[in-house]
Structure 1
Amino acid sequence: MKQSDEPFLLHWPDSRRRYTYNGSAAIHAALLDRQLERGACVLLPAYCCGAELGPFEQLACEFRFYDIGTDFSISHDEIERILNAQPDIRVMLLTHYLGFAQPEVEAIAALCQARGVTLIEDCAHALFTEQAGRAVGQAGDYAIFSMRKSLPLTEGGALLSKHPLRSESRQPANGLSLLAWVSRLAWSFQQGARASRRVGIRSVARYLSIAGWSIPAVLVKLMRRTGIVPAERWLTPDVEGAAAVPVYGYGISTFSQRLLKTADGKDIRQRRRANHAHWLRLVDQMDGLRPVHRVLPEGACPLYFLVSVANPGEWVKRLAADDIEAFNWWQHLSSRIDWAEFPVARQYKQSLLALPLHQQLDEVDIIRMANSLSARKQ
């Protein structure tokens, strides 16, 4: 594998990189390195999953929000207007949504630098995304990643900094609980077996694999309930809000670091783009499903195939009956946000269905899922 095909963060200087348990922990590490004072004013996207708010809530920050365009873009002019009206803003979070690079990130970074605003690029969805032949995450003061969203890792996030991190920020985080890791690993193998399309003898092996991995999964759950291991050590990488605080000090396992080094970014990007094209061709033949992204910009590495539907939560339940893990994407409406002020973000939270297109799938898998989607639509 060529060095350029590996995740670019592997070649970031150690003095400017820290591995974390998940993406939220990476945001927390950025705020600590920035030495952001309690109660500081911050600017965040209204369209977010909610986990991003946790590190800022821990510092009792004063929140300001901005909306996105219907193409998920963040407008330089809109950010300039907000910063002019709110000169006390100290930190801005910019998200590269679903593997699509923000087209005006360089201009927004220059604007933030001129105003003394620290820019954190949220690249949680964009580990393998490029823009103009350059990996995203290099325009702002910091960039955070959540590698487990793009790769089959049990956990893993990263913080990259434009400048050397303070010594305390570079210190290795605490190790991951072995039992929690085994629990997550068992779940991952079970999910992989469920997604298999094996038939005959191989189908039997599939069910045996699911059953076999159920044994350690059940055992560790029983151990958890006995209280042998502190509850906070069991928090999964997708915990949000106040519940996520205990994981901020934990790091990435050696197992996940090794898997990260084997990733071929170019191949993964090509496979995901091909699967997006397969989905688009098939969904175009169905009524009532509107693809959100019809064109992939060069360098984009899509996280999911998004369609706009009525009642996406019901679609998730229907597809689950066929072992298809779809998502009502980011449906949570935070009470911190006045949603009447952010119509695009609110609309997307209520209408988007995310369908799998990851690199372990191929055209046959997409056809099977599309057939299920069409049948469940009836």
Structure 2
Amino acid sequence: MTELTRQHLDCGDPTPSLWSLLSRDPDGGLEPLFDGRRVAFSFNTRTALREACDILGLQPGDEVLAPAYNCGSELDPLLDAGLDIAFYQIDRRTRPDLTDMAQRVTPKTKAIYLTHYFGMLQPDTSAIRALCNEHGLFLIEDCALSLLSGDRPAEGFAGDVSVFCFYKLFPVLAGGAIVLNADQLEFREPFDQPPPHSLLRKPFIRMGLEAFVGARLLRKVAMWRRKGRVTPSLAAEPGAHIDMPPGYYFDPALKHSRISGFTKRALAAFNPAQTRTRRRENYDIYQSLLSDIAGVTPLYETLPDTACPLSFPVLVEDRDAVAARLSARGIAATPWWSGYNQKLDWAEFDDAQFLKDHVLTLPCGQHLAADHIRLIVSELTAALGTADQP
């Protein structure tokens, strides 16, 4: 294998210089995205969502209609607030079924939760906003995967509250935001608690080690340490859904936690416009290269003009096996949202389960060049050919 190939195989998010990040302006990179809006910055998006429940005045026993296709982690803060979650149908192209959504509104319903997937803004957002207005419901708009999408990034203008995530697009340690769009809403206790340093310590140390020994060597060590281990928390009873990772469940101790100063400094290192342009270019390359490959179906047929793609999502059979083989080759492909929040019930939502079991995301980050994408597609082709082998 050539040195160029070895370099290209290390396709995870890059680690910025640790020391250069520490010298950044702690206020740079954040406020310009939310210029003129009422925004508060949280430790992560789940913390922002937990705060949203209090800001909206939602009470235990109130119902929120949420998309059946979800990670599970974003809804756990709502469960922590004592809310009941009822799903509405999402089709296999991640679009809400508006008829189904409307039929599920009851006197108990107080809010609708809307997710923009993979950087693709929902085309029916205005109709969902109108449905909320008709029934006197709040709209919680989840823009965690679409930070730089829209005519005016950060978009998220339809929700009474909108939440965002920074580490999905940028290699930073956590970081989220909540924006209040409804005039009658006010921040009650904007994140006045320090960030949990115990959770930041491990990734901070990892970034330092990567700077000295390299990300690829560090990944090999981690894989060697995990070899042969079984994670009990992810095991499921026969016929049951596999659990999502334990860290995806909301920790009440994070309530009111603010964004870390390190994250704010790191964000000043990135250029949103360049990020959006490069990600769109990489997405287009994937679309061209994957058009004739059997066994791979792009989740979306086209890239909207205003989208900043989070990744390139595809549908594949034997998704987890394919992802494992790509990971072994150093490709940061993800079996997207493969785990299920065990507090929720997907029983009647076949399309959502299909997505959770078949979506594989290919990286199209701003650090990748065309050669990286070609290599990833080559490795994906090889992984598809061996996915059913032991």
Which range, TM-score by smaller chain?
0.7 to 0.9
| Residue pair 2:89, 2:101 contacting (<8 A) in 1 also | no
> Within 5 Å, which residues of 2 pair with 1:81-96?
81-83=103-105, 86-96=106-116
Alignment of 1:365-376 (within 5 A): 365-376=372-383
Alignment of 1:146-185 (within 5 A): 146-162=165-181, 163=183, 166-170=186-190, 172-178=191-197, 180-185=199-204
CA contact (8 A) 1:21 1:156 kept: yes
How far 1:210 moved relative to its partner?
5.3
Structure 2 spans left out of the alignment, 5+ residues: 1-28, 222-244, 386-390
The secondary structure found in structure 1 opposite 2:110 is strand
**1:115 equivalenced with 2:122 (yes/no):** no
Indicate the residue corresponding to 2:248 in structure 1: 240
Cα distance in structure 2, aligned partners of 1:208 and 1:34 = 42
C-alpha distance in 1, partners of 2:73/2:43? 13
Partner Cα separation in structure 1 for residue 31 and residue 373 of structure 2: 26
Aligned equivalents of 2:119, 2:64: Cα separation in 1: 24
Kindly indicate whether the alpha-carbon contact (under 8 Å) linking 2:39 and 2:177 is maintained by their aligned counterparts in 1.
yes
Q: After TM superposition, list the pairs within 5 Å mapping 1:1-378 onto structure 2.
A: 9-13=33-37, 16-83=38-105, 86-131=106-151, 135-162=154-181, 163=183, 166-170=186-190, 172-178=191-197, 180-188=199-207, 207=214, 239-242=247-250, 244-378=251-385
**Structure with greater contact order relative to length (CA < 8 Å, sep ≥ 6):** 2
Change (3 A) 1:188 1:314: farther
Residues 21, 299 of structure 1: CA spacing in aligned structure 2 closer, same or farther, 3 A cutoff?
same
Structure-2 separation of matches of 1:179 and 1:64: 34
Task: Report which stretch shifted further, 59-68 or 94-103.
Answer: 59-68
TM-score (norm 1): 0.80
2: CA distance between counterparts of 1:70 and 1:121? 20
How many Å separate the matches in 2 of 1:179 and 1:276? 36
Q: Does the 8 A contact of 1:289 with 1:309 survive in 2?
A: yes
With over 3 angstroms needed to count, the CA separation of the structure-2 counterparts of 1:370 and 1:259, relative to structure 1, is: same
Cα deviation 1:197-247 (Å, max 9, x = unaligned): xxxxxxxx7649956xx9xxxxxxxxxxxxxxxxxxxxxx993225x2222
Amino acid at match of 1:117: L
CA distance in 1, matches of 2:306, 2:30: 15
In 1, Cα distance between equivalents of 2:274 and 2:54 = 35
The answer as to whether partners of 2:55 and 2:185 remain within 8 angstroms in 1 is: yes
- In structure 2, C-alpha distance between the alignment counterparts of 1:264 and 1:46, rounded to whole Å: 34
> What SS does the aligned partner of 2:247 have?
coil
By how many angstroms is 1:21 displaced?
Answer: 1.1
The CA RMSD over aligned residues, in Å, is 2.7
The 1-side partners of 2:216 and 2:288 are apart by 34
TM-score norm. by structure 2 comes to 0.78
Q: Extract unaligned runs of 5+ from structure 1.
A: 194-204, 215-236
Write 1 or 2 for the structure with the bigger share of helix.
Answer: 1
Change (3 A) 1:8 1:138: farther
State how far apart, in whole Å, the 2-side matches of 1:208 and 1:373 are. Answer: 21
Residue 6 of structure 1 contacts residue 264 of structure 1 at CA under 8 Å; is this kept in 2? no
3-state SS in 1 of match to 2:188: helix
Q: Secondary structure at the match of 1:47?
A: coil
SS in 2 for 1:159: strand
CA deviation profile, 1:289-338 (whole Å, cap 9, x unmatched): 11112310111111111111111111111011111121111112344444
Task: Provide closer, same or farther for how the CA distance between residues 207 and 151 of structure 1 changes in structure 2, counting only shifts above 3 A.
Answer: closer
AA matched with 1:71: R
**Does structure 1 retain, via aligned residues, the 8 Å contact 2:56–2:185?**
no
* Cα deviation 1:239-260 (Å, max 9, x = unaligned): 3225x22222321111211333
Measure the CA separation in 1 of the matches of 2:92 and 2:31: 29
SS at match of 1:145: strand
Aligned to 1:228: none
Structure-2 separation of matches of 1:207 and 1:341: 46
Total equivalences in the alignment: 332
Given residue 240 of structure 1, which amino acid in structure 2 is its aligned partner? Y
Give the letter aligned to residue 132 of structure 2. C
